[in-house]
Amino acid sequence: MQLRELEILAPAKNIDIGIAAIDCGADALYIAGPSFGAREAAANPLSDIEVLAKYAHRYGAGVYLTLNTILFENEIEKAVKLAWDAYEAGCDALIIQDLGLLKAKLPPIPLFASTQTNIRTLQQAKMLESLGFNRLILARELSLEQIKEISDNCSAHLESFVHGALCVCYSGQCYMSSRITGRSGNRGECAQPCRSDYNLIDSKGKVLVKDKPLLSLKDLNLADYIPQLAKAGITSFKIEGRLKGISYIKNIVRYYRAVTDNFLDNNSGFRQSSLGKLYGGFAPRPQTTFNRGYTNLYIEGSRGEWNSGDSAKSVGEYIGKVESTSSDSRGNLIFSYKSQERISNGDGLCFISPKGEITGIRASLSEGKTVHTNDKISLPPGSALYRNYNHSFEKELESNMPKRLIEILVRFISSSEGTTLEGVREDGVKASVNIEGVFERAQNREASLSGIKRQIEKSSGIYIFKLESTDIEEVLFYPASVLNEVRRALAEMFESVPVTKNSNEKSAPDRASLVTQGILEGKALDYRTNAANSHTKALYSQIGAKSVDDAFEISAPEEAELMRCKYCIKFELGTCPSEGSKVKYNEPLFLENRGKRFRLGFDCKNCEMVIFG
Note whether 365 and 407 are same-domain residues.
Answer: no
Note whether 158 and 55 are same-domain residues.
Answer: yes
Say if 158 falls within a structural domain: yes
The average pLDDT across 271-277 equals: 97
CB 348: neighbour CB atoms within 10 A?
17
Phi, psi of 470 (to 5 degrees): -125, 140
Let me know: does 228 contact 144? Beta carbons within 8 Å.
Answer: yes
Note whether 259 and 342 are same-domain residues.
Answer: no
What is the structure's pLDDT at 514? 53
Banded model confidence at residue 424, pLDDT cuts 50, 70, 90 = very high
Say if 545 falls within a structural domain: no
Banded model confidence at residue 36, pLDDT cuts 50, 70, 90 = very high
Note whether 20 and 144 are same-domain residues.
Answer: yes
Distance CA 601, CA 609 (A): 6
Which of 447, 477, 495 terminates a domain? The answer is 495
Note whether 229 and 258 are same-domain residues.
Answer: yes
What is the structure's pLDDT at 510? 56
Say if 437 falls within a structural domain: yes
Note whether 359 and 467 are same-domain residues.
Answer: no
Cβ contacts of 123 within 8 Å, gap of 6 or more: none
Sheet holding 198-201, edge to edge: 207-212, 198-201, 590-593, 596-603, 608-612, 561-565
What is the structure's pLDDT at 546? 95
Percent of the chain with pLDDT over 70: 97
Q: What is the DSSP letter of 476?
A: B
Express each pLDDT in 304-338 by its tens digit.
999 999 889 888 899 999 999 999 999 999 999 99
Say if 265 falls within a structural domain: yes
What is the structure's pLDDT at 380? 92
SS3 (DSSP) at 347: coil
Banded model confidence at residue 1, pLDDT cuts 50, 70, 90 = low
Note whether 61 and 129 are same-domain residues.
Answer: yes
Residue 221: name the closest of 250, 241, 247, 193 by CA.
241
Q: Is 418 exposed, middle or buried (0-12, 13-18, 19+ CB in 10 A)?
A: exposed
Instruction: Give yes or no for residue 504 having a pLDDT over 70.
Output: no
Note whether 379 and 471 are same-domain residues.
Answer: no
Q: Going by DSSP bridges, is the β-strand pair 219-221/294-295 parallel, antiparallel, or unpaired?
A: parallel
Which of 389, 414, 449 terminates a domain? The answer is 389
Please state at what angle helix 246-265 crosses helix 15-23, rounded to 10 degrees: 30
Distance CA 297, CA 225 (A): 12
**Sequential DSSP letters for 280-308:** S-PPP-TTTSS-S-EE-TTTTSS----B-
**CATH code at position 79:** 3.20.20.60
Domain with 417, as residue range(s), is 403-495
Note whether 363 and 454 are same-domain residues.
Answer: no
Express each pLDDT in 84-130 by its tens digit.
999 999 999 999 999 999 999 999 999 999 999 999 999 999 999 99
Domain count, the chain: 3
Let me know: does 148 contact 195? Beta carbons within 8 Å.
Answer: no
Compute the mean pLDDT over every residue in the chain, rounded to the nearest whole number: 94
Note whether 333 and 380 are same-domain residues.
Answer: yes
Say if 285 falls within a structural domain: no
Distance CA 288, CA 315 (A): 10
Say if 571 falls within a structural domain: no
Instruction: Give yes or no for residue 65 having a pLDDT over 60.
Output: yes
Banded model confidence at residue 300, pLDDT cuts 50, 70, 90 = very high
> In 168-243, which ranges are E strands?
198-201, 207-212, 219-221, 234-239
**CATH code at position 325:** 2.40.30.10
CB 58: neighbour CB atoms within 10 A?
18
